[in-house]
Structure 1
C-alpha cells in the first residue's frame, strides 16, 4: 500500500517521541524531576481551591515544561512540528482559490438574496445560480484568489460585486461585452486594471472601461484588501 505524506510525518513524530522518552530514562535526573513535577501537578489539581494547591500546580507545570525543553529530541519534535505547520500554511496559501460565478438571468426581483462567499485558504470552485447579482459579496483571506465572470451571462442593468480580502493576490476575469467599473482600495500593493498599472501605499483607484456608459450589462466591482495585488482582465 502506498504511504502518503501524513503517514511519514506521523512515523517521524512517534520516533522523536520515543527518542525523547528514552533520553529522559537514560538521564536519571531529568526523569526524576519529571516524575516529581507530575506529582506536583496532580496534587495541585486536587487542591486548586487553596493557595497551596495553585502553587503546586503552576510550579509543577513550569518545572515539567522546562525539563521537557532540556531534551534535544523534544526540541527537535517541537521545531519540526512548527516547521511542518508553516509549510502546510504556505502550501495552502500558494494555491489559488478559484471561483466561477454563474448567475441566473431569469431570477426574479422577489428572489433577491445576499450571496456571501467566505474563503480563507485552499482551493474552491464556486458555481452560483438563481440569485440576483446585485448582492454578491466575496470575502477572501490569505493567498491567491481567481474569480471568473467570463462564462457568465449577466442580467441587464448593473451587477454589483463587493470583494474584501486580507493579504494576497486577486485576479478577476470579466467578459469582453460587459461594461466594467472597478474601484479598488488597499494599504499597499500593485494594481493592474485593464493594463493600467500602479504600485504604492494607500491606493484608491477607479477605472471604467470604454463601453461602460452604453453597455446594457454592467459589472460594478468594489475591492478592498490590506496588502496585495489585484488584476482585472478580459477573457
Structure 2
C-alpha cells in the first residue's frame, strides 16, 4: 500500500501527525503523553521481572493501557484514519486495474549489474527484550540497531575486528548498554542520554541530564584495530570496559 505513495506524500502525512502531536501537548496539557510514558515504565519493569507473577501482571497491564492511551491521541487517530483511507483507495484501484508483474532485464542492465552479497546482521531490531553477543567465536559485522525496552550487551573479545574502523551504532529508549572491548583495540565513543549514568573505562558520570559525551583513546586516529561507538538513550546507563 505505502509503496504506491511518493516520498513527499508520505512525509506530509508524517508531518501532519507530528503537528497534531505538538498541538495535543501544547493545548491539551500532554496528559496522554505522560500516561504513555508511565505505562511504558510499567512495561519495562514488568519485562525485567517477567519470571515473577507480579512482573507478568505489570507487563500486560502496561501493554493494554499503553495501547488504549496511544489510540486516544489525536495524531494516532489521524494516522489510523489515513491508513484506512489509503487501504480503501488502494483496494479499489487494485480491483479496477490489477498489477501485472513481468520481470524484464535488458542485456545492458545485465552487463552493468554489480554482484553483491547479503550478510546476516549480528543483531535484529528488537522492541522488547535483551540482546547480547554469543559466548562463542563469531565473525564481526558492523552493528546498527534501534530498540525500545531492554538491555544490550556486546562483547568484542570473541571476534576478530578488521583492519578498518568497526562501527557500533545503538539507538534505544529505555535500558542499559554494556560493551566489552579487548585491551589492544582503540576506541572512539559518542554517547548521548536524556537520563542515566555512564562508566567509560575508568571515568564515571553519575548523573547525565540531556548530555552528550565524546571520548577516544590516545592512538585511535593512527592505530588498528579500532571501533567507533555511537549510542543514544532516553533513559539508561552505558558501561564500556576492557576485558
Q: TM-score, normalised by structure 2?
A: 0.48
Q: Based on CA coordinates, which of the two structures has the bigger radius of gyration? A: 1
Q: In proportion to residue count, which structure has more strand? A: 1
Q: TM-score, normalised by structure 1?
A: 0.49
